[in-house]
Structure 1
Amino acid sequence: MKNIKHYIAIATCLIILVAAACKKNDGYNKTPISGDTTKPGVVTNVKVDNFNGGAYITYNLPNSENILYVLAQYNIREGVKRETKSSYYTDTVTVNGFAASADYDVTLYTVSRANVMSDPVTVKVHPETPVYQLIRPSINVNADFGGVNVQALNPLKKEIGIIITAFDATTNSMEVQDQFFTKADTINYSIRGYSTDPRQFGVYVTDQWGNISDTLKREISPLYEELLNKSLFSAFNLPSDTPIGYGWQLPNLWNGTENGDGWHTLPGEKPPFVCTFDVGRVYKLSRFVMWERFGEWAYGHGNPRDFSLWGTKVANPKDAKLPISAPEGAVVGDWINLGNFHFPDPPSGSPPGSTTASDEAFVRAGVNFNVPFDAPTVRFIRLAVNRSWSGGDIAHVMELSLYGNPQ
């Protein structure tokens, strides 16, 4: 009998806990719903603090526990209305997304728990220059291998979109070719897949509220690039290269298969994990695509996280022990650092080791990396993995495809 009473007590506690958990407080004072339909008082002592594209509006609430929230209604541009709610528990409402640095009216209401609105209080805000407009003057677009390169500055690190358009002979108009969204402070982005024929390109900036800048237009002739002929590649083993293990061979790195054997170092070595090969002729490299090992190894094991590409066009380059890290353009013996790269973090935002299906699909598709435009021409390549996703003592890559302009 005592046991039965004990179990009943535990069950009762669990029911109470579950019921309490279900009563989630989302920040609004709306429980219980009031039957008081009296019109609430208005906010007072309203103050405005403008920022880029928006404003913080602070106020004093009327002395009433029947208030649910404060509602702000406003237009961010002609014909586009927005409204923002702020909980009873705060004294500030944020209005955002304005298209220009200009005067805008914002109408404030207090709303009761019976959903009764107060009389309006209108306040004028004058946002500072919106972020999308701040970025637009910094945009620069130039010819790149197989397309164009767009550079811009986003010093406030706000989410914006770079929209690239190009003339389409089929529609006889400018059509959107690519949309790139980022919070990065420095934007350096390329689109490819075009012939070397001159073409009209355009670039504009947008934000999450649908505001768009004017378009920068330029006629550009993309630079020629081609996929390097892998049949000309050959291993160029140097004494400081990391030993290869498990029966894998360096030529697996360019055998055209992403789902088989690749380049895999022996365990027990220290970074950088290095391999060296000859691409058969001198090229001005434009980019490369890397396929890391996927499946259970995605974002783990010996897959490169941070790595460098070194190169030279010296006819018979000598061995040199590469450092774990070096600035772009650094010279070590016959070898020049062509660039330092970071394999993108999991697109899902999940931590490494908790890879999702979308993360694995991203790895399977291969990842494109741009070689800095001012990198020198090369014939011999050294891949140096400075850090793997596991941080361990091995490195592996399934396939590498390089693009460039033959010299």
Structure 2
Amino acid sequence: MKNIKHIYLVLTVAVLASLSACKKMESYNDPASSDMTKPGVVTNIKVDNFNGGAYITYSLPNSKNLLYVLAQYKINGVTTRETKSSYYSDSIMVDGFAKKQGYDVTLYAVSRAEVKSDPVVVKVNPDTPPYLLAKPSINAEPDFGGFKVTGTNPAKSNLGVILLSVNDNNSSDVIDQHYGNSDLISYSVRGYAPVAKKIGYYVTDNFGNISDTTYKTITPFFETLLDRGKFFQYRLPSDGVIAYGWDLPYLWDGKTDGNSNGWHTAPGGAMPAIATFGLGVSAKLSRFILWERPDGGDKFAFGHGNPKVFSVWGSDVAAPRDAQLPLSAPEGTVIGDWINMGNYNYPNPPSGATPVAHTTADNDFVKAGVSFNFPLTNPKVRYIRLSVSTTWSSGTFAHAMEMAFYGDPR
């Protein structure tokens, strides 16, 4: 009997709790207020225009039931946007306008019962939108195996550069979309044969605004993967001392997983840590892929002796002499038989996590290899010096799993 009473008590409490929860859910959907009084209008309006938008300041009405201010406006004659600002603020931002011209913005004060005030129409005159500021600077040029797109984004706004392939019947297909908010735009689209190709490109923004399209016919430069079977070690006195059996030829053996050997210098060595090798051909290089050491038994990705700041030097001399390379030097610097072909920073974990707390996806990024471009102005070279100035652990040794080089060896 005691057990039966206990069960009955538990069921009774459960039913009462359920009824209480239902009442709470029902009340949650009730209007925030039953006061249907129309609020007053905003007054003392001032407008501060900027590129693609405007800040509107105002005085709030003396309405006790006020919840927010609503702005309604068309950004391109078709698309209507709404922006809200709480009663704690005396300003509201309107943005996304397609052109530098006048636009009407309608302001409402809105109560907790969602009752709107009478409308107040404000004229704003936004400056040139960011996507139109960027468009004149965008340019596409021939690159190895494709096209190089450059430009500037003065407003550092979220923009997209859309690349089109133009077909024989003048129809077009999107072949690349590049988005970002950096002030400098510079990237390459590859995978094309060295034959003339008509392309187009335009700039868009987060609001669906689209610039005019520029059309060009471009012939990509020839590019191929250099045969790593021809690479050879070319040891110089200032090269890093090899450690743990991770000898230099492992840097081009085609094995990139963390269970294989790569190149590894001994701790306590002088920085930069340097590895010198021959390509077996004289080639104008376009880019290279670096595979750093991924996680294995320990967390090596974005840590340990993996290169963080490094440079690549090259020489086209038949038997280049040793030279003490500095920790840093501008691109194009010549020291003895060697020229600085590029300075590089390995990217941070894509997830945004700190290097020591990188994710599995970040480790997959490392295992896939990271591509770096060479400047188009570089001369042909037949020897390479990888010079690691700083590792992720800021230690006195460096290591990497693999390198591959692309270019024109003809």
Normalised TM-score (structure 1): 0.90
1:162 aligns with 2:165: no
Measured in 2, the distance between the counterparts of 1:213 and 1:255 equals 47
Shift of 1:221: 0.8
1:94 aligns with 2:93: yes
Q: Aligned residue for 2:307?
A: 304
Measured in 1, the distance between the counterparts of 2:261 and 2:97 equals 54
1:278 aligns with 2:281: no
Q: Aligned residue for 1:334?
A: 337
Kindly provide the amino acid, as one letter, of the partner of residue 87 in structure 2.
Y
Q: How many residues align?
A: 376
Q: Aligned residue for 2:225?
A: 227
Q: Aligned residue for 1:289?
A: 289
Q: Which moved more, 1:63-72 or 1:85-94?
A: 63-72
Shift of 1:156: 2.1
Measured in 1, the distance between the counterparts of 2:347 and 2:170 equals 37
Q: Aligned residue for 1:21?
A: none
Q: Which moved more, 1:47-56 or 1:356-365?
A: 356-365
Q: Aligned residue for 1:24?
A: none
Measured in 1, the distance between the counterparts of 2:275 and 2:225 equals 20
Kindly provide the amino acid, as one letter, of the partner of residue 63 in structure 1.
N
Shift of 1:250: 0.5
Shift of 1:57: 0.5
Shift of 1:78: 2.6
Q: Aligned residue for 2:237?
A: 239
Measured in 1, the distance between the counterparts of 2:167 and 2:287 equals 25
Q: Aligned residue for 1:263?
A: 263
- Cα offsets for 1:68-112 (capped at 9, x unmatched): 111111111132111011111111100111111111111111111
- Cα offsets for 1:185-221 (capped at 9, x unmatched): 2211110000111111111111111111111110111
Q: Aligned residue for 2:246?
A: 248
Shift of 1:158: 1.7
Q: Secondary structure at the match of 2:75?
A: strand
Kindly provide the amino acid, as one letter, of the partner of residue 79 in structure 1.
V
Q: Aligned residue for 1:387?
A: 390
- Cα offsets for 1:213-238 (capped at 9, x unmatched): 11111011110011001010000010
Q: Secondary structure at the match of 2:201?
A: strand
Shift of 1:172: 6.6
1:114 aligns with 2:117: no
Kindly provide the amino acid, as one letter, of the partner of residue 325 in structure 2.
L
CA contact (8 A) 2:273 2:398 kept: yes
1:401 aligns with 2:404: yes
Shift of 1:309: 0.4
1:164-183 correspondence runs (5 A): 164-168=163-167, 173-183=171-181
Q: Secondary structure at the match of 2:323?
A: coil
Q: Which moved more, 1:85-94 or 1:59-68?
A: 59-68
Measured in 2, the distance between the counterparts of 1:235 and 1:172 equals 51
Q: Aligned residue for 1:210?
A: 208
1:40 aligns with 2:39: yes
Shift of 1:36: 1.4
Measured in 2, the distance between the counterparts of 1:203 and 1:258 equals 36
Q: Aligned residue for 1:3?
A: none
Shift of 1:168: 4.7
Kindly provide the amino acid, as one letter, of the partner of residue 88 in structure 1.
Y
Measured in 1, the distance between the counterparts of 2:164 and 2:371 equals 21
Normalised TM-score (structure 2): 0.89
Kindly provide the amino acid, as one letter, of the partner of residue 186 in structure 2.
N
Kindly provide the amino acid, as one letter, of the partner of residue 358 in structure 1.
A
Shift of 1:358: 2.3
| Structure showing greater Rg | 2
Q: Which moved more, 1:147-156 or 1:230-239?
A: 147-156
Q: Which runs of 5+ in 2 are unaligned?
A: 1-30
Measured in 1, the distance between the counterparts of 2:230 and 2:167 equals 36
Q: Secondary structure at the match of 1:253?
A: helix
**Identity over the aligned pairs, expressed in percent?**
56
Q: Secondary structure at the match of 2:382?
A: strand
User: Taking structure 1 as reference, are residues 65 and 264 closer, same or farther at Cα in structure 2, changes over 3 Å only?
Assistant: farther
Q: Secondary structure at the match of 1:297?
A: coil
Measured in 2, the distance between the counterparts of 1:173 and 1:280 equals 44
